[in-house]
A and B are shown apart, each in its own frame.
Chain A
């Protein structure tokens, strides 16, 4: 797509901003606090992902930004100008909806042109910008079709073109890939990243898929029960999750209450004793593999229950002696029923004081994390190496 760079619409004056500041933004429905006071500063050009399971408040935060939901308290400022009191049509942000929300009675072209028409852009410029947006999203030959005649991926691209054609200061995306099948999702993920690289439009992206968030975003905001649990770069979150909850999101599929094997006697230098261990399936292996385990490795005997074939490797579920089940990613081929010993380097096991998976896991993180490195919530045995996959 070498030609694409030439098609790039010129960002309009004012399309970029220095910072968007959310201060104590909260939203409750009746007595239910969907979003607890959120402080977040987004820098111009940044790609921020709000990550969390359904019901964690991430879509609420996005709708508050878009102006579709009034805030219960707090304020939103764009370069010092207060915008949370403006209706959505006055904010000028682009939004991509989970269900795309394409206008079914308008063609793809008219859908893309809608926002420009509302802004009374002169006809010639409107035509030029719509054509550019359609070409950039590779929709030129589908421009005359109605949404019902387009495939899911094409509808998705219309939705993106419709949002970015306005060159908005901020693009909001609400789980835009969740309605697509697996292969299309990967393709569109790359597409979204490419469009962000080309247009440099500040983007806030909501997702429950950590892989999506890690691969797309410059910065991640992990939410839980309407509260921020950690903010950081993908590498920071992947390598130093602040809590067992965040670790669970970052691929630490084995979140286990201690004691676990010989980990029960971890020294705690004045800090609360660790109660939860988090281990990635790929950091566990069967003893007697290619590499000999270091002397201080965690060793857990168990029985293989289930084996999944994953191409270059296998994913096995192993029941250890006390009945707990662990996931192991291995190149060895196990068989169900095999008696095995799981080993993991000590440095690859994260220990947390919080209890994994329950209410107050991220409580010590507070709500007022603006940016950057999280407070160390983890009492770590060692920092795992290896960045985002």
Chain B
């Protein structure tokens, strides 16, 4: 009798005295959470492996196989070129303010939206509707609206507030506007959800204990909301960091908004240097993970339990 046979016998509970008390293999697996419903996760797992992990690992190994320069040649090429290297700073310079604006603006609005008022649903719809606009549509709208002959500049000039048209598109500002327009709805929806999770009785309790409006925010609402805000920040940061269409369309893609995605696309699809393009993409991934790591590290030091008021 081989070891495998013994195990099989045990599993069926027929081998020896002890075996009689053991439940079937299926039962024991089920107790550990392994049963047929696990198959429900299969399509998703397959899709993630096929569409994310495989391309990622393929790109990773590709980045180490440049035509010249050895194992790290592509990375060296990227960091040696000031223009290419500069895309990192330009991307951060856009993504960080955009994320901060999105998170910052969503807090007071969500705070007020906790209570009922007339027209709340319409306002909610208005705030969230930009989600349905693609970046390209947003970019086109911005070009029309904020452009030199757009309504905005026409109005400014009509009011004699500016001499000439203000340059608001095809530069840094155009991309920032676009990132705020597309990123804000996500930030708002998340913040709104986090804030609604904080029971209003907590603030009422703080008020009866003598805390004024600012102290209530400072000592109660903010500490409970901060973990949610960090998560929201991460999400909008990732969206903003990967900015591509708007940087191309309403930005200055060879100047102030030469962001890291543009650099990667340029290397891979215009220079046909796939290893270099992959290397840039890997650098981008590492940078995003670093920022998320810092944010999550901060978050882990905060209170993250229930905010339901009952504790």
Contacts and interface: CB of A to CB of B under 8 A. Distances in A.
Interface in A128-183: 146-148, 150, 155, 162-163, 166, 172, 179
A373 interface: no
B209 A150 contact: no
Contacts of A104: 202, 224, 303, 305-309, 311
A27 to B, nearest CB: 16
B219 to A, nearest CB: 7
Contact of A105 (B199, B212, B223): B223
B205 interface: yes
Given A68-B204, A97-B204, A102 B210 contact: no
A68 B207 contact: yes
B91 to A, nearest CB: 35
Contacts of B307: 104
Nearest to B198: A104
A7 interface: no
Contacts of A150: 311
A94 B310 contact: no
A92 B210 CA distance: 6
A146 B311 contact: yes
A78 to B, nearest CB: 15
Given A99-B199, A104-B305, A115 B210 contact: yes
A101 interface: yes
B216 to A, nearest CB: 8
A103 B198 CA distance: 10
A162 B209 contact: yes
Contacts of A94: 208-209
A373 B211 CA distance: 40
Contacts of B310: 99-100, 102, 147, 155, 179
Interface string A79-92: 00000000111011
A102 B224 CA distance: 12
A66 interface: yes
A67 B209 CA distance: 12
A119 B223 CA distance: 20
Contact of A114 (B199, B206, B212, B223): B206
Interface string A56-78: 00000000001110000000000
A348 B165 CA distance: 92
A89 B210 contact: yes
Given A92-B210, A115-B209, A148-B311, A101 B223 contact: no
A95 interface: yes
Contacts of A147: 310-311
A93 interface: yes
Contacts of B211: 89, 114, 118
A3 to B, nearest CB: 28
B207 A155 contact: no
A95 B309 contact: no
Contacts of B224: 104-105
Given A105-B224, A150-B311, A114 B204 contact: no
B220 interface: yes
Contacts of A162: 205, 209
A105 B303 contact: yes
Contact residues on B (Cβ < 8 Å of other chain), bracket:
20 to 34
B157 interface: no
B24 interface: no
Interface in A107-128: 114-115, 118-119
B258 to A, nearest CB: 43
A150 B305 CA distance: 13
A105 B201 contact: no
B305 A97 contact: no
Interface string A330-350: 000000000000000000000
B155 interface: no
A68 to B, nearest CB: 5
Nearest to B202: A101
Given A105-B223, A118-B215, A155-B311, A95 B208 contact: yes
Interface string B186-224: 000000000000010110111111111001000110011
A247 to B, nearest CB: 34
B207 A97 contact: no
A105 B204 contact: no
A119 B210 contact: yes
B211 to A, nearest CB: 5
Given A89-B210, A148-B311, A101 B215 contact: no
Among B205, B215, B223, B307, the most chain A Cβ lie within 10 Å of the Cβ of: B205
Contacts of B205: 95, 97, 101-103, 162
A101 to B, nearest CB: 4
Contacts of B220: 103
B201 A101 contact: yes
A356 B294 CA distance: 67
A142 to B, nearest CB: 12
Interface in B227-286: none
Contact of B208 (A66, A99, A102): A66
A166 B209 contact: yes
B104 to A, nearest CB: 22
Given A97-B201, A114-B219, A102 B207 contact: no
A146 B305 CA distance: 10
B212 A89 contact: yes
B207 A89 contact: yes
Interface string A22-51: 000000000000000000000000000000
A93 B208 contact: yes
Contacts of B207: 67-68, 87-89
Nearest to A105: B303
Interface string B5-33: 00000000000000000000000000000
Given A94-B208, A99-B201, 17 more contacts: A88-B207, A94-B209, A95-B205, A97-B201, A97-B204, A99-B309, A102-B311, A103-B202, A103-B206, A105-B305, A115-B209, A118-B206, A118-B209, A146-B303, A147-B310, A150-B311, A155-B311
Interface of B: 199, 201-202, 204-212, 215, 219-220, 223-224, 303, 305-311
10 contacts: A67-B208, A68-B207, A95-B205, A95-B208, A97-B201, A97-B204, A97-B205, A101-B199, A105-B223, A146-B303
User: Which 3 residue pairs spanning A and B have beta carbons closest together?
Assistant: A147-B311, A105-B303, A115-B209
